[in-house]
Amino acid sequence: DPMDENTVVGPMISERERDRVIEWVEEAKKMGAKEEIPLKVEGNVIGPVVLTEVPEEARVWKDEVFAPVVSVVPFRKFEEAIKILNNSSYGLNAGIYTPRVDHMLMAIDEVETGGVIINDYSTFRVDHMPYGGVKESGLGREGIKYAIEELTEIRFVSLMP
C-alpha cells in the first residue's frame, strides 16, 4: 500500500515482471552470484535483494532490472569504479558518495550518465532540473525548459509598419 508509511517496497507492476525479476536473480545465482540479502517474494511484492560476486554477463548486472535488486561491486581505486560504471549500455544518473573533492570533480568530468548526483541518491530530482540519460537510457531530457521546447515551435516573425 503506497499510502501506508510502513510500506518499504510496493508490488511489481505485473506477475510477468515479478517472474522476470525472479528469473534474473536465479540466473545470476547459477552464474556464481551470492545473495547477501536473499530473494523473498510475497504475492507480487519482491523484497530488497542484495547480490555480490555478480558476473558481468548476468542480466541483473548488464540490464536495467526495475526492481529492488542491487549488485554490489568492490573496487580498490576510484578510477576503477568509474571504469566499471561507464562499462554499461545505460547511463541515466549516478549517485557518487565521497568526501574527497578530487573524486567529486573526477566523477563530474568522467562519469558517462545524464546526471551525476554527489553525496545523494541517484534518483534525486527536482522538476526544474534537466533530467534524462545517455546511451540506452531515456529519450532526451525532461524538465520545464525541455517541456516548453517539446510543446512549442520556434517561429520568426518580421513585421514592417
pLDDT tens for the chain, 161 residues long, are 667 888 778 899 999 999 999 999 999 999 999 999 999 999 999 999 999 999 999 999 999 999 999 999 999 999 999 999 999 999 999 999 999 999 999 999 999 999 999 999 888 888 888 889 999 997 888 888 888 888 889 888 898 98
Fold of 1-74: Aldehyde Dehydrogenase; Chain A, domain 2 (3.40.309)
Give the chain's radius of gyration (CA, Å).
Answer: 20
Residue 70: helix, strand or coil by DSSP? strand
68-100 pLDDT, tens digit each: 999 999 999 999 999 999 999 999 999 999 999
Provide the 10 A C-beta neighbour count for residue 96. Answer: 22
Which ranges in the chain are annotated with CATH 3.40.309.10? Answer: 1-74, 75-161
Beta strands in the chain (DSSP E): 34-37, 41-42, 45-46, 49-52, 69-72, 90-91, 93-96, 115-118, 134-135
115-126 pLDDT, tens digit each: 999 999 888 888
pTM for the model:
0.80
CATH number of 75-161: 3.40.309.10
Question: What DSSP character marks residue 35?
Answer: E
Q: Map 138-160 to HEC letters.
A: CCCCECHHHHHHHHCCCCCCCCC
Sign for the CA dihedral angle at 113, 117, 121, 123 comes to negative
Phi, psi of 145 (to 5 degrees): -55, -45
